[in-house]
């Protein structure tokens, strides 16, 4: 197949979850023998697979209107049909493309999350949020099929007025060769300088409100009243950094919680391998959680809040991985159970086997290609 894919940025120039997803999916499509024209914001890309053409359409730091103007100009020169499918991952970048799409070409949208609702959750400008919502609806109602990472996000997409029969749930894909077990957690901890005498909980999140890091600190403060034998390592960067640092001091957690800042992909693998558990304290709008599948592939179990698609991602491994609610008290209860040994979690081999069976990119990509091949445009 020849596929036009509209993403956000080129990974690893931009190391976000959506960018990583599109990179992994594109790599799997190339291994399957497909050709891909990938349209993204960012700088020109060289030395890629000859079956892949990466086309920068705009600069990510520009205003939305400027990006739309630049993207339309680039599409006019670089969009080269015929294509067997148009695969859209970001509505903003797809909007300027719509006039160039032949009505007979199937349009498949990967719905990664509600762009407007995410802005509202972070107290974004309301006018900008309304514009984002209108833009999303415009693009989505011109699509033929949709792919989502979870049933929870399928229901969210139906709220846009989308027929549920046009939505296919396909889980997160990851590189299970890169995210792997170490076989020696102690050695990895030595390399990172992490303690051996404490249970270590790890999380990698953008430092924003809805991912629940402040609530995680509240949970840690509750645990700290009775236990001190735990360490929480938080990787990531974002606007809440200063507030989190202040909260760690105010709650007396300096000996138990560390903000790691940006962590490279190689160090991310080490962190998963070194941790006793990965914790994902999200409060809202989590379609799946990339770190869930990555952690499991590294053999490390996960504790998640019952938000979005996370429970369905881990439920087959046991309900001990899901907190009763997203409240700090329920997170604290699960952490204490981990510390006293009463929490039953899957072992390294079971975590790894589950990830390889369900989330390996070639497994996931086969499902995605099936949607591409069986979708026909009714317009």
Query: Could you give the count of Cα atoms lying within 13 Å of 270 in the half-sphere of its Cβ?
Result: 15
**pLDDT of res. 176:** 96
Domain match, 155 and 191 both: no
| Same domain? 116 vs 61 | yes
The pLDDT, as a whole number, for residue 115 is 80
CATH number of the domain residue 338 falls in: 3.40.50.2000
Yes or no: say if 297 and 285 are a contact pair by the CB < 8 Å rule. no
Cross-strand bridge partners of residue 167: 146
Asked if residue 332 and residue 366 are part of one domain, the reply reads no
Residues 211 and 323 in one domain: yes
Q: What is the pLDDT of residue 15?
A: 77
Task: Give 13's contacts (C-beta < 8 A, 6+ positions apart).
Answer: 19, 42, 43, 45
- Global confidence as pTM: 0.92
Q: Is 365 exposed, middle or buried (0-12, 13-18, 19+ CB in 10 A)?
A: buried
165 and 205 in a single domain? The answer is no
Output the pLDDT for position 302: 97
Per-residue pLDDT at 317: 95
Q: Which domain range does residue 161 map to?
A: 2-173+360-374
pLDDT of residue 378: 64
How many domains, the chain?
2
Please give the average pLDDT of every successive group of 10 residues along the chain, which has 379 residues: 93 84 96 96 81 91 84 93 95 90 93 83 83 88 95 91 95 95 93 96 95 98 97 96 98 98 94 98 89 97 96 93 97 97 96 97 97 82
Instruction: Specify whether 167 is located in the same domain as 193.
Output: no
> C-alpha 301: how far from its chain's center?
17
Q: Are residues 106 and 237 in the same domain?
A: no
Residue 379: predicted pLDDT: 53
349 shares a domain with 236: yes
């Amino acid at each position: 197949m020849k596929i036009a894919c509209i993403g956000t940025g080129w990974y690893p120039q931009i190391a976000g979850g959506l960018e990583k997803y599109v990179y992994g999916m594109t790599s799997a499509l190339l291994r399957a023998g497909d050709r891909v024209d990938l349209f993204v914001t960012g700088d020109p890309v060289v030395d890629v697979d000859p079956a892949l053409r990466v086309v920068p359409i705009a600069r990510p730091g520009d205003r939305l209107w400027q990006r739309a103007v630049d993207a339309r100009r680039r599409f006019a020169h670089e969009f080269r049909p015929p294509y067997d499918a148009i695969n859209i991952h970001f509505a903003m970048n797809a909007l300027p493309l719509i006039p160039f799409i032949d009505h007979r070409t199937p349009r498949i949208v990967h719905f990664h999350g509600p762009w407007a609702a995410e802005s509202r959750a972070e107290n974004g400008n309301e006018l900008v949020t309304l514009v984002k919502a209108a833009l999303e609806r415009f693009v989505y109602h011109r699509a033929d099929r949709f792919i989502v990472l979870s049933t929870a996000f399928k229901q969210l997409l139906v709220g846009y007025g989308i027929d549920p029969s046009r939505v296919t749930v396909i889980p997160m894909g990851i590189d299970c060769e890169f995210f792997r077990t170490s076989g020696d957690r102690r050695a990895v901890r030595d390399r990172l300088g992490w303690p051996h005498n404490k249970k270590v909980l790890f999380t990698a999140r953008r430092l924003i409100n809805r991912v629940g890091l402040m609530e995680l600190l509240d949970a840690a403060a509750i645990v700290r009243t009775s236990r001190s034998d735990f360490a929480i390592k938080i990787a990531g960067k974002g606007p809440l950094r200063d507030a989190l640092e202040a909260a760690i001091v105010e709650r007396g957690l300096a000996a138990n919680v560390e903000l790691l800042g940006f962590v490279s992909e190689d160090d991310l693998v080490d962190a998963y391998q070194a941790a006793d558990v990965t914790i994902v304290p999200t409060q809202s709008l989590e379609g799946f959680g990339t770190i869930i599948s990555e952690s499991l592939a590294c053999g490390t179990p996960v504790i998640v809040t019952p938000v979005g698609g996370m429970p369905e991602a881990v439920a087959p491994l046991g309900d001990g991985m899901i907190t009763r609610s997203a409240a700090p008290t329920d997170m604290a209860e699960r952490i204490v159970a981990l510390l006293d040994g009463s929490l039953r979690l899957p072992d390294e081999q079971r975590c790894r086997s589950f990830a390889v069976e369900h989330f390996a990119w070639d497994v996931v990509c086969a499902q995605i290609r099936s949607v591409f091949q069986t979708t026909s445009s009714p317009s």
